Amino acid sequence: MPACSRDGAGHFALTLDGKLLYLNQIMMTTMPKFKTLFLVPLLALLAACGGGGGGGSSTPTTPDVTLKSIVVTPANFTVAVGGTQTLTATGTYSDGKVAAITSGVTWTLKTGTAAEVFSNGSVRGKLIGNDTVTATVGSVAGSTSFTIKPPYSSLVAGGNQTLAVKADGSTVAWGANNWGQLGDGSLADRNTPVQVKNPQALPWKVVSTGEFHTLAIRENGTLWAWGLNQNGQLGTNNTSNRADPVQVGSATDWVFISAGKGHSLAINKGGVLFGWGRNNNGQLGDNTTIDRLVPTKIGTFTNWRTVSAGATHTVGIRADNSLYTWGGNASGQLGNGGTTDVLLPTKVGTASWLSASAGGAHTLAIQTGGSLWAWGANGAGQLGNDSSTNASAPVQVGSDDNWFMAVAGNTHSVGIRTNNTLWAWGSNVEGQLGDGTLNDVGGPRQIGTDNNWYAVAAGLQHSFGLRLDGTLWGWGLNKQGQLGNGSNNSALIPTQLP
């Protein structure tokens, strides 16, 4: 039975067999069908719509009004895995009216692999990826593309703690908290995620955690810190510890941070590098061994792209993809062929580098072509070259050129290939490699058979990973709750965070 309706522009229409028909279309194309059903019921229905004659008031209709186009908003939107975005289909009609279409719309996805769409026009993210959503009314359609992003924008593992920034800008933390490094205002360890305090109720953008302290940047570009401050690593111009976030200076142009064992580094919007905290090995790069209590400008370069703080050394990459190292070098972790500490950023070779990660006393770096290289301490096989000999210059890890991400823990390494498989090597005394054993591994070993890993983090003796479906997995040492799964039992294989 046909039913009467009115669209957002005030045009009358009938719904027949799930199709939305405007009155002029009915009179021109479907009249024979209605004649066979009886003309009188049709006239009665038209009267109910306000389009027929007889009794009461009536609303005049505009003849020959047709839907010409559809625009779907918001356009080119982003939704997090597990999140939902409600869409609006807006129609433009032949009489010039523009209005939201509230009925008779069919919503579809181009692939449907990474998201799902509902009949009310809402889209829910399922996997990290991209898709296109289309709204259709009759033969008229409108589309927009969208991106499904991770539910976490930042995932980091520190000494014995783990932190993650959610897509909504809130930050959660779990694990060791003896120096207030979780930022929840207490000194109590947590084996389930707790909210980091948010003094100004502003979204967090990125977080980095060292052995006992944490740094974070808000969406407004301000820099914050909490935890141990013995060497001034919080940058607050004192050595007082903080159990809740405190703002560092007044600058609002910070874009990148890295927290090491006892020192901190940050890059501002202008590409300028700053360092503060412990500097006994020259890890700040200011040509001294003096600790700094506030962010101190390092050198004169204005094109730093990324930086990573290890235990006593630092590695950075400039915009031209050149790699520089400085600080402690007793194990060859600077990669310059020697074992002497360096107090200033010094270029390493002529290769083009994509990313770098500084660990306890070893370094991992991926070249722009996708090959993985390592140097420094290798007592537990953390360099991945199937030996236990330190290397003072970069050595390639295997021969593959499909590395997407590699991170250095204290004495172990974890990486992800471009096919989204997970690999680990090095020390495994607490199960931090995730292969189900406690045996050290001298070369990259695939962890499980899953091929949906997206990001990974390595702490002192634990590791964490993020999968494409948005789930978090942790493994290794858990005595202080650093796996966040509600227990304090270590895990030898990746275990999902509830």
Each residue's pLDDT tens digit, 29-71: 444 444 444 444 444 444 444 444 334 333 344 568 999 999 9
**Dist CA 424 CA 174 (whole Å):** 23
Specify whether the CB–CB gap between 231 and 247 falls below 8 A. no
Report yes or no: 298 and 304 within 8 Å, Cβ to Cβ.
no
Cα-to-chain-centroid distance, residue 454: 9
Identify the CATH number of the domain defined by range 152-496.
2.130.10.30
What does pTM read for this prediction?
Answer: 0.84
Q: What kind and span of H or E run contains 143? A: strand 140-149
pLDDT score of 26: 44
Q: What is the DSSP string of 165-209?
A: EETTS-EEEEE--TTSTT-SSS---EEEEEEPP-TT---EEEEEE
Residue with tokens 């769409």: 117
CATH topology identical between 67-149 and 152-496: no
> What is the 8-class DSSP label of residue 81?
B
Under 8 Å between Cβ of 456 and 416: yes
Residue 130 tokens read as 């991209």
How many angstroms separate the CA atoms of 429 and 431, rounded? 6
Specify the DSSP class assigned to residue 327: E
**Cα–Cα dist 176/459, whole Å:** 12
Question: Where are the chain's structural domains?
Answer: 3-49, 67-149, 152-496
User: What superfamily does domain 67-149 belong to in CATH?
Assistant: Immunoglobulins (2.60.40.10)
The bridge status of strand 263-268 relative to strand 254-259 is antiparallel
- Residue 498: its pLDDT value, please? 87
- Give every residue of the chain whose pLDDT is below 50, as ranges: 1, 3, 12, 15-61
SS3 state of residue 42: helix
